[in-house]
Structure 1
């Protein structure tokens, strides 16, 4: 058992195998350590989040080492049968790799009972273990950019079903009409940890009978509003990208759902305080400005985050010019008036809050749009009507001290071109890289690529060299994780990152710098500054060094 640093509020526990990992997951789920939060199991690791103010890594280590992990009985959940048509485009290739016939691959895949070990990658994607030991095949050397929903696939000793169209590197052996993720069900994920699974060959005359939903799926992107709303914001131009975002949806890792949420939660909270909302209410997160909207009814708004010029045009055109309103302060928008948002002078994402918030139905408790998972409200488009709620009693707009404005990122980013220093906690997989990898990571200025998005920042610079060529078993990842794919060019995960990943992480941006990372535009430059605490982990793992 090893304890490895991940972030200033998370550590990774490395164990011998999946059964031991699930035993520890069960133990910590049923009897949590005070101060710990969500748990994300992997193939042989457990990612543990914690509150540094409540518990230290050393205390977690001591508590975990005292746990009895011998009492778990695998496969205690429901038995779910999944009908499969074995027509996958990799079926013959898998048969060739295993030196057996395609029919024998199907037989081996259907003869054994699987257990849901853990979830990740996408909502409803379950890693199924315990199949026939002969079915052990590597991932594809070149991942596909598009895998259809319902694809049944193999990777290593795991089986899985892709719940939605997505990229992926697993070997495709069949398809199923079973809905792995459906928000119209009480339990959206068909498969949860502990469930047992059998695959049934439809062509072979088998028939699945257990809990496969025949309901019509509800879109993961529900329509945001009704056009007849009279107290609302009407979107005239969404700009480059405008999304609804709040503080995310933590607590659904067991379904393969990551938290998502605003990339700059500091600015989101500031905008809400300025208009008198609860600090975690949903706002509009707009990328690179350009948003234009019209008020239905009298509204009070505020914009924070990346500083942008704001102007208002009257409901009835006049010869007068549009009037400007302050950034980072509340302002009124009269019925029929239009707000126009310019381009930011620094940063990338601005947050618009409206007094009363948005009167929309949350998805799994949140209005955040997760662009990777396709979960939450659809991206905002021209013509979208967003109904505004009634302000909560007892909440009032909060004036900033000395008449200042809310601009959490402006002073840190300065004017373009920018170079920003981000504190980073090294680990958990520094030992997968060459001896000079930390110097390469921290000794250069990394360029933020134009291929970056809410999933992550793609960085360009001198490549990092791996010394461990083995395939990393899937393990939990965090926002801020610096993952190194085979090309050696880092990807810095942001809020919409996959819950688990199969590339080694050399370090993670500290929590206090995550909002700053979320504001970095393409063309910005990053320097990484390593911070501790390494001594605490070295004490329990002598081989772990910064």
Structure 2
């Protein structure tokens, strides 16, 4: 068992059976401060709300591991039957690999019961263990850029259903019409870790059913993500006139669903989002606007109190310049315009009372990887403004900010010098890995809310793939090409490449403000000795 950054623990276990036993033991008595428990192939990730919660969770997790050792007869999970039309484009290739007929591949795939092991890279994607070794063909050497939603696939000893269209490298055997994930269903995932799954061959693609105890049909397909809410009953609202490159509604994020592939999401720069709420007197989890690279224009219906935080932008209300990190009164009918920041990437617009948007799975945040939450805003959308919180009022004219997001601090040689705590996978890295990691790097153009991708000197590591395990915000993962990836708000919940380190929480906010072309240095965190760092 080891620390995984400042707010998580990673429990290493010998096999999937031990993972399931420990996961059950942990879920039986979750203490306050633990926000997610994420099973994976050989680990369980325990994610906490704050660093102080990790210390308390450590004894609880150790006790769960001890109790799991006595779990000799795990309860049988719910049986879910998934109808499959076996017409996948890789069916013949799997048959050739196995040296048998396609009919035999279908019979072996559908002729057994699988255990839902852990959630994957997308909501509703759950890895199912128990593939017949005779047909356990490896994943494709070159992944497809597009796998249709509903595809039933396998890769080695695992099989799964792609809940929606996405890239993927698994072998496609067929397709199903089963709604694997539906935000309007409770629970939203058709298959959760611990469930039993059987595939049923059919002539046509039809909906799935849960067969245990005559359970009801799986329910409707996932509803489209809601667009903006209408303005409030008293007429107060924010009309989107222009969006800039990307305009999203974000709050503090969602918790408790990582086991079925739903990540926390939330504001990319948590500190700037929280500051916007504090300046206007909102609760910390109030929904606000996240503006990427400026360019937004917002018309206010009804008088409002707003705050701009994060990347500093030139801003005006009806042509009158307004400042950052301070309460700004916006008259009824006035237009707030945001220019382009000279440095930094994301600016937050907090409105007193918060933005009223229909929550999706407990949050009003847009998760760009999972496709969950309100759609990106478009011109013409109108967001309602909520009722201001009682007894709370801004107490300052301007909040001092020690360092402007996106700008280098005094003495730094790059836009971002980010402190990294040693990660849990030292044995996956070769000598010199830490020295290579701290070389000067450049943020690449394919960075987004999911991850910051960095060019520069390759970090030497072992070949191969790590069995998938949970990921945390700020995890620095190293794929086979050696170029580090720093995961941000909309990261996948599990990943199969080793993590060399984890950014400090405050430095993840700094990472979220870096833009393509910025130079960055990953540096061993103060207080973490080189003897603790991977790779020496």
Residues 293-346 of structure 1: per-residue CA shift (max 9 Å, x gap): 111111111100111111122xxxxxxxx2111211111111211111011122
Shift of residue 440, structure 1, vs aligned partner: 0.4
Query: What are the ranges of 5 or more consecutive residues in structure 1 without an aligned counterpart?
Result: 314-321
Q: Please state if 1:252 is matched with 2:251.
A: no
Equivalent residue for 1:241? 246
- Measure the CA separation in 1 of the matches of 2:256 and 2:156: 28
Equivalent residue for 1:429? 425
- Residues 25 and 64, structure 2, Cα contact 8 Å, conserved in 1: no
Q: Scaled by the length of structure 2, what TM-score is found?
A: 0.92
Once the two structures are superposed, the pairs formed by residues 12-161 of structure 1 within 5 Å of their partners are 12-32=10-30, 36-50=34-48, 51-56=50-55, 59=59, 63=63, 66-71=66-71, 73-74=73-74, 76-161=76-161
Equivalent residue for 1:8? 6
Equivalent residue for 2:323? 326
- Measure the CA separation in 1 of the matches of 2:402 and 2:304: 22
Q: Scaled by the length of structure 1, what TM-score is found?
A: 0.90
- Residues 329 and 405, structure 1, Cα contact 8 Å, conserved in 2: no
SS in 1 for 2:26: helix
Residue 497 of structure 1, aligned match among 491, 495, 500 = 491
Comparing 288-297 with 228-237, greater Cα deviation is found at: 228-237
- Residues 90 and 173, structure 1, Cα contact 8 Å, conserved in 2: yes
Once the two structures are superposed, the pairs formed by residues 160-239 of structure 1 within 5 Å of their partners are 160-203=160-203, 209-210=209-210, 211-213=216-218, 215-219=220-224, 221-226=225-230, 230-239=235-244
Q: Please state if 1:464 is matched with 2:459.
A: yes
Q: Please state if 1:279 is matched with 2:292.
A: no
Residues 502-528 of structure 1: per-residue CA shift (max 9 Å, x gap): 122211112221111111111112211
Residue 513 of structure 1, aligned match among 491, 502, 507 = 507
Q: Please state if 1:388 is matched with 2:385.
A: yes
Equivalent residue for 2:415? 419
- Residues 82 and 212, structure 1, Cα contact 8 Å, conserved in 2: no
- Measure the CA separation in 1 of the matches of 2:279 and 2:528: 40
- Measure the CA separation in 2 of the matches of 1:333 and 1:171: 56
- Residues 483 and 491, structure 1, Cα contact 8 Å, conserved in 2: yes
- Measure the CA separation in 1 of the matches of 2:249 and 2:70: 45
Shift of residue 98, structure 1, vs aligned partner: 1.8
RMSD: 2.7
Equivalent residue for 1:528? 522
SS in 2 for 1:7: coil
Residue-pair matches, total: 527
